[in-house]
Structure 1
Amino acid sequence: MNYDAIILGAGGAGLMAAATAGQAGARVLVIDHADRPGKKILISGGGRCNFTNTGTEADRFLSDNPHFAKSALSRYTQWDFLVLIERHRIAWHEKTLGQLFCDGSARQVVAMLMAECAAGGVEVRLSTTPGPIEQGDGLFRVAGAAAPNLVIATGGPSIPKMGATGLAYDIAAQFGLPLVTPRPALVPMTLGEGDAAFRDIAGVSCPAVARAGGVAFEEAALFTHRGLSGPSILQVSSYWSPGQPVSLNLLPGAAGLLRDARRRMPRAQLKSALAEHLPRRLADALAARIALATEMGNASDADLDRVAGVLTDLTFHPTGTEGYAKAEVTAGGIDTAALSSRTMEARSVPGLYAIGEAVDVTGWLGGYNFQWAWSSGVAAGQAIAARRAGA
């Protein structure tokens, strides 16, 4: 059977594109090697799916072309997706920083997308390996099916245990689409032996302002047995390059707080003063690094300024990241210069589209990457429907 479109990938972007095109009258086939649709959706947000963010704007996304995402995001917004969520009577709640989650389970979002596909007559084939892709006579041929439109929605290689691969990049290479070098993003960072004292306090978390790669994020930082994690670290990891430092401001206003401690507790050691504001194990590790060799009451202003400097700019030199195995998403991917920002269609290959994580558009932590999946999927689905109508 021939189709109007074949979509490779039954994740968020692929299902959204399929539902959009199918409900507009296109005959759509979705192919995925996994045995279930939406596997990454199911594990997201602790199983509750952080499905979008109220603060979604194009400046919350990384790309070699920072303007590329504007078109799709503005034409299908977070509010549009929320309307869909509510139409399916999925209860939701807002957490910090505009993050929206299901009250119940991420399975509800997958069921919603599958229901939308069913409403458009979309055929979904799971446990199906695409195999070789051929093109000729205006058709793409995949797994025994043919269509004038082919959508790359296979994501990136992040979280390989969920079946993620670099298939999108292989397809891009086959059709001559350039890549921005892929790399793990929203990923924990590793520390070397020089920072072993901080690896030894694994499990300790505290609010912090993390800085790296010219950006700063204020959220929790988490010390792990391998290095650094937590929301603020995951955020800056997307901007970090090997060899760059990462710094944490653990105690804003530290200079004033230390002077107050000197007045109130002159016989105390530094670690006791720090433990008033920071977790005890972190206070001990910091005191060991700073090595203030006197009681608080005998510390000079210069001493306290030195301590404050460390607390507000605690600098690490990560040895790397924990890689794709722990990365929430992949940065880089199919170069946006090769795509139309309005339709997601390849400029040099009519009928070939790339959407979602396969593309060099990467959002912040907190629902932004799902919104990109929805928005880019709708853009491609609408373009396929319009192309079919024009034919």
Structure 2
Amino acid sequence: MKVNTLILGAGAAGLFCAAHAGPGALVIDHAKRPGDKIRISGGGRCNFTNLDVTAANFISDNPHFAKSALARYSQWDFIDLVSNAGIAWHEKTLGQLFCAGKSQAIIDLLLSMVDRANADLWLETGIERVERTDTGFRALLTRGRDGVVVEAANLVVATGGKSIPKMGATGLAYQIARDFGVPVTDTRPALVPYTFSDGRFAGISGVALPVTARANRGPTFPEAMLCTHRGLSGPAMLQTSSYWREGEAVTIDLSPGTDLAAALKARKAAAGGKPVGTILADHLPARFADLLAGELGLTDNLADWSDARIDDLAARLHGWQVVPTGTEGYRTAEVTLGGVSTEALSSKTMGATDIHGLYFIGECVDVTGWLGGYNFQWAWSSAHAAGTAIAQS
């Protein structure tokens, strides 16, 4: 079978690319349904983009690489697409946009676009081998018990990263890249909860509080932190995990926007006859305050504390540091950090600079967004870049 464009992966990027790649596109996926990660995203409501997308919201060895694709197909373009399709949406916090209904609406939109583009979609299709030919590419596929050979002028790799293997995620994109001599940067789980081997947070699992947090040399994220049986999660922790490295501390302000030193001194002057740990519960969840009281030995009454000691405690709580043992890994990571090196790709077309007709889009590329719709926008933008380049070629 001969096609113009063979697209590997029927996720957000693969489907969107098929809708723009012109006639003769075939999308294949080993899954039973297309867009499974779309379906579960955003608690089932798909956080499909963000109002404030810029290249600064992405991590890459080349921080400028994403600018071209993001500028030529922006969040506003996708918002218009969703709105014109009659899909209701709303903004939550920090510019995050969600479907008002179920995320299936986004999948249905993509499938309708693929259908209008006269592209074909094969599900439950395995990939045995992909190779280069004199005229393009050849893929040996399996459908049921049958083997199928597909020849294509263009090959688009949109198979994602390693995150959430129970949904079928593999490192196939990286293997294909290496087979074709395209470099791949180191990969690791990102947007992933932290684990602590001492189980220090297991007793307060479910407790959440607003914080600001920072890891390594990354930015500070003002979002929620959640204690779990294994460690720390919640948006603030997931965000910092993309910048964290083993053995490093995560710095957390446990009471952002509050001058704890001033508040504790005022309480000392007015009514300091209670243990410090008890008084901290006025500013932190009670169970979390109990944990701190036990770890820091906050058993004596606030009235007995000097102002200098109060200043020291406040500084520790505004700059509380924890050193995670690790993360929950690809099992629960929302995305994969790193991937196909941007040094080998055109930022305008997402095509491999040394292999005509070969494209890499979406999560498999070394462009990783923050939590909050950024990775979906990268899927739309990179897929549009590749699809329109193919259609115009």
Q: TM-score, with normalisation over the residues of structure 1?
A: 0.96
Q: Please give the secondary structure, in 2, of the residue aligned with 1:124.
A: strand
Q: Is the 8 A contact 1:191 1:199 kept in 2?
A: no
Question: How many residues are aligned here?
Answer: 382
Q: Is 2:194 the partner of 1:197?
A: no
Residue 187 of structure 2: SS of its match in structure 1?
A: strand
| Corresponding residue for residue 184 of structure 1 | 189
Contact 1:18 1:381 in 2 (8 A): yes
| Distance across 1 between alignment mates of 2:331 and 2:115 | 33
Answering whether residue 392 of structure 2 is matched by residue 386 of structure 1, we say yes
Contact 1:290–1:310 under 8 Å retained in 2: no
Instruction: State the secondary structure of the residue aligned to 1:340.
Output: coil
1:161 aligns to what? 166
The answer to whether the 8 A contact 2:27-2:121 is kept is: yes
**Structure 1 residue runs without a partner (length 5+):** none
Secondary structure of the structure 2 residue equivalent to 1:179: coil
Task: Please say which of residues 134-143 and 338-347 is displaced more in the overlay.
Answer: 134-143
- For residues 376 and 173 of structure 1, what CA distance do their matches in structure 2 show? 20
> Quick one: distance in 2 between partners of 1:263 and 1:130?
72
Identity of aligned residues (%): 54
Give the distance between the partners of 2:270 and 2:278, measured in 1 at CA. 12
Q: Check conservation: 1:292, 1:303, Cα contact below 8 A.
A: no
Secondary structure of the 2:185 match is strand
* Partner residue, 2:146: none
Q: Find out whether 1:271 has 2:268 as its counterpart.
A: no
1:206 equivalent in alignment to 2:212: no
Q: In the aligned structure 1, how far is the partner of 2:298 from the partner of 2:159?
A: 54
Q: Tell me the CA shift for residue 141 of structure 1.
A: 1.1
Q: What is the Cα deviation at residue 199 of structure 1?
A: 3.2
**Letter in structure 1 aligned against 2:197:** G
CA contact (8 A) 1:290 1:307 kept: no
> How far has the Cα of 1:175 moved from its partner?
0.2
| 1:92 corresponding residue in structure 2 | 89
Alignment of 1:1-391 (within 5 A): 1-22=1-22, 26-142=23-139, 143=141, 144-193=149-198, 196-214=199-217, 215-252=219-256, 253-387=259-393
In the TM superposition, structure 1's runs of 4+ consecutive aligned residues that sit over 6 Å from their partners are none
SS in 2 for 1:200: helix
Q: Deviations over 1:173-197 (max 9, x none)?
A: 110111111100000011132xx43
Question: Alpha-carbon deviation of 1:265?
Answer: 2.2
Structure 2 unpaired stretches of 5+:
142-148
- What code does the residue aligned with 2:240 have? V
What's the CA shift for 1:293? 4.8
> Residues of 2 paired with 1:368 and 1:58: CA distance?
10
Query: CA RMSD for the aligned pairs?
Result: 1.0
Give the Cα separation in 1 of the matches to 2:112 and 2:173. 26
Q: 3-state SS of the aligned residue for 2:303?
A: helix
Structure 1 position 292, deviation (Å): 3.3
Question: 2:129 corresponds to which letter in structure 1?
Answer: P
Q: Counterpart of 1:330 in structure 2: which amino acid?
A: T
- Asked if structure 1 preserves the Cα contact closer than 8 Å seen for 2:201 and 2:227, the reply is yes
